[in-house]
A and B are shown apart, each in its own frame.
Chain A
Amino acid sequence: MQMREITYRQALNEALAEELDRDQNVFLMGEEVAQYNGAYKISQGLLDRFGPKRVIDTPIAEAGFAGLGLGASMVGLRPIVEFMTFSFSLVAFDQLVNNAPNMLTMSGGQFHCPIVFRGPNGPAHQLGATHMHATECLFANFPGLRVVIPSTPRDAKGLLKASVRDDNPVIFQEVEMLYSSKGLVEPPMPDFDLVIPLGKANVSREGTDLTVLSYGRTMPMALRAAEEVAKAHGLHVEVIDLRSIKPLDLETILNSVAKTHRVVVAEQGRPFCGIGSELTFQIQEHAFDELDAPIARVSMDEVCMPYSEVLEHAALPSEEKIVAAIKATCGL
């Protein structure tokens, strides 16, 4: 199939449009999604195309509209609820962690919530302390929530479409810094549906010397770092894009560890109780004897995010930090 190059933003927009078109039970709701065409223009043109019943502006009331979406999902609709950023989802935390995943258990299986909560998540650029939380580890701690984070346009489209079709609540976390990044994606075709199953990691680059486990914003950094150590040191680094934190594709991770015996985790969030902590535990539990070196971790620093560009850069994971971790883990 002839692929074309589109942005991550356009890929998300296509996914929304295709799912709205496919199923009347799907609707999109959130702040500025309709008349304003989206704070980040992900929903550009959707109001015009689908009308005000399907693409709905809300007041600034995350707990209210997250709960409204959940109620609608309990009776068979399939809402897509946009958060302008997942930092704002924190005021709806109760709906997201106490209602969305619990409904199935509390009702003894009578009710479930086929709903997608989506929006940008994690570090952006100079937004300061409150607007760029990497919230994936918070949601990943609650059984029943899917946590999905695409790093390429193709994954953004295919994973979002799969999320809308999943019968469980999905926390779909986009990467603001990648909205304008480009990649190859199949064009919309009548007989082709780009749906990428949740819970399947992607080996983005194959290698034999070390495995970098990453997702979201740090994925492009990890790939560049792998390129750099290949050129400078002849290292063959495998880079795995987790794509979904939950379900976690442990099989792909362990297969890679069995091949490379060295691991660096590159995560966009903070280290303490973070995704890297969990990955590291799981690897030592299931593949302790495979490891030839301690697992290294590149994370956001353990600080509240400063506004200063210099300090922000110092706090965030970077290609340089990943290169340094790879070298140290390989004894270079």
Chain B
Amino acid sequence: MAKAVDKQAELKLLYDMLSIRRFEEKAQQQYQMQKIGGFLHLYIGQEAVAVGSVAGCEHRDYIITAYRDHGHALARGMGMNEAMAEIFGKSTGCSKGLGGSMHYFDKKNNMMGGHAIIGQHLPLATGFAFAARYRGEDRVVLAYMGDGAINIGSFHEALNLAGLYRLPVIFICENNQFSMGTAVSRSNPLKEIVNRGAGYDMKSLVMDGMDVRAVRETIADISTKIRTNPEPYWVECRTYRYRGHSMSDPGNYRTKEELEKHKKDDPITNFSATLIKEGLLTDEEYKKMDAEIKALAAESVKFAEASPEPDVSTLHDYTSVVTDPNYQPLPTTPEIKTQNPFHC
């Protein structure tokens, strides 16, 4: 019985990674057909990071990421339909077509957004963890960023605050080796990105971002620890993005050979081969799974195309919110005065 449960969990890792890839291939195609506008930043190549880390934490844990956010949202359970409709700017999108590719939000799945200004979301992540500690909840926060985020002020302020108040945030740097077209070695003087944590006396480690199981085990281990003993972690996750920074980027800053070398490390190809070797999957089943996912991705395009545009009469509906007249304040009790969850 235990074996059967494990098998399902393993297959889900593959299913989720493949879903991200097929969804994004479809999105890329739609962009090239000029059916969608704005920016489109693809996650292809990095799927093991989102899928493995989400599998390593609990649904109640908050996740937040930057603008390359499709993978994290899908891994957290967002449907392809609402994801594709968002890129199409349709009212059925996850953010009702108001956010776009870079601003996927999914409150029911504790996906706290894709955020498009570099490093800007990291202080927010400390706020989620702060609120969890404030309320005595055992939630942790997974805060993802690219390697380009580690040089901006908000990053440093967030890590400092998380360390100071002992907030349960796992800061996950998805080191895909380029901030847009600038190689890591050209954007900071660190020998290794993992060293950034030392400046905050933060427990730090490196993980292989192309190995979905390794990511899952590492995040599960850290989240279990900090759920009961809150403190932040700094994790450098080594990965690689196959596509350009965005759709307008031909990737002239790297060689074809380099790209091909990394594709040999492909998280999906490698993991499906492993599952087949372990007897958890057959080649036939893999093909069936892939066909099923491709059909869902194609279906999401149809759904998005058939969905209504936002009604122009709603243009001003999201500028401000009507204050909830039924809000119930929680009166202060004497014991709160003695609590000191932030050690300050």
Q: B313 near A: Cβ within 8 Å?
A: no
Given contacts A59-B161, A64-B158, are A167 and B126 in contact (CB under 8 A)? no
Interface string of B112-132 (1 = CB under 8 A from A): 110101001011111110111
Give B64-101 as 1s and 0s: 1 = Cβ < 8 Å from A's Cβ atoms. Answer: 00000000000000000000000000000111111100
Please indicate the chain B residues that have their CB under 8 angstroms from the CB of A107 in the complex.
95, 98-99, 103, 105, 107, 113
Please judge, given known A-B contacts A71-B131, A72-B134, whether A51 and B158 are in contact too, CB under 8 Å: no
B34 located at the interface, meaning its Cβ lies under 8 Å from any Cβ of chain A in the complex = no
Please state if A94 and B117 are interface contacts (CB–CB under 8 Å). yes
Pairwise interchain contact A53-B161, C-beta atoms closer than 8 A:
no
Which residue numbers of B lie inside 8 Å of A, CB to CB?
62, 93-99, 103, 105-107, 112-113, 115, 117, 120, 122-128, 130-132, 134, 153-154, 157-158, 160-161, 164, 317-324, 327, 329-333, 336-342, 344
Residues of B within 8 Å of A66, CB to CB, are 123
Residue A67 at the chain B interface, CB threshold 8 Å: yes
**Is A104's CB under 8 angstroms from B126's CB?**
no
In angstroms, Cα B165 to Cα A56, docked, is 10
Q: Which of A8-16, A109-117, A132-140 binds B?
A: A109-117
A-B contact pairs, 20 of them (CB 8 A): A21-B332, A24-B330, A24-B331, A24-B333, A50-B336, A52-B340, A52-B342, A59-B160, A64-B158, A67-B154, A67-B157, A68-B161, A72-B130, A72-B131, A74-B128, A77-B134, A105-B98, A105-B99, A108-B94, A144-B319
How far, in Å, is B113 (CB) from chain A's closest CB?
Answer: 6
Tell me the minimal C-beta distance from B171 to chain A in angstroms.
13
Residues on B with beta carbons closer than 8 Å to the beta carbon of A57: 344
Say if the beta carbon of A280 comes within 8 Å of chain B.
no
Known contacts A63-B154, A67-B124, A71-B130, A104 near B332 by CB under 8 Å? no
Which residues of A are interface residues toward B (Cβ below 8 A)?
20-25, 27, 34, 49-54, 56-59, 61, 63-77, 91, 94-95, 98-99, 101, 103-112, 143-144, 146, 165-168
Chain A residues with Cβ below 8 Å from B157 are 61, 63-65, 67
Contact A22 B126 (CB under 8 A): no
Provide the bound-state CA to CA distance between A58 and B112, in Å. 24
Please determine whether A109 and B340 come into contact, CB atoms closer than 8 angstroms. Answer: no
Known: A94-B154, A105-B319. A74 touches B324 (CB 8 A): no
Give Cα A65 to B127, complex, Å. 8
Q: Which residue of A lies closest to B330 (CB)?
A: A24
17 extra interchain contacts, Cβ-Cβ under 8 A, other than A53-B337, A77-B131, A104-B321?
A50-B332, A53-B342, A54-B332, A63-B157, A64-B126, A66-B123, A67-B157, A70-B123, A71-B112, A75-B128, A77-B134, A99-B115, A103-B113, A106-B105, A110-B106, A111-B113, A143-B319
The answer to whether B320 touches A24, judged by C-beta atoms less than 8 angstroms apart, is no
Q: Are B120's CB and A72's CB within 8 A?
A: no
Q: Which of A20, A71, A95 contacts B128 (CB 8 A)?
A: A71
Residue of A nearest to B316 (CB): A143
The distance from the CB of B24 to the nearest CB of chain A, in whole angstroms, is 21
Question: Who on chain B is nearest to A162 by CB?
Answer: B323
Known A99-B120, A108-B95; judge A68-B154 contact (CB<8 A). Answer: no
- Tell which of A95, A101, A143, A167 touches B324, judged by Cβ atoms closer than 8 Å: A167
Tell me the nearest residue of chain B to A164, going by C-beta: B329
Whether A106 touches B103, Cβ cut-off 8 Å, given contacts A64-B154, A67-B123, A68-B127, is yes
When distances are taken between beta carbons in the complex, the residues of chain A under 8 Å from B112 are: 71, 74, 111
| Chain A residues positioned under 8 Å from B95 (CB to CB) | 106-108, 110
Nearest 7 CB-CB pairings of A with B? A71-B127, A67-B123, A64-B157, A108-B96, A23-B329, A51-B337, A108-B95
Complex partner residue of B117 from A58, A64, A77, A98, CB under 8 angstroms: A98
Q: Given the known inter-chain contacts A24-B330, A53-B340, please indicate yes or no for A95 contacting B113, CB distance below 8 A.
A: no
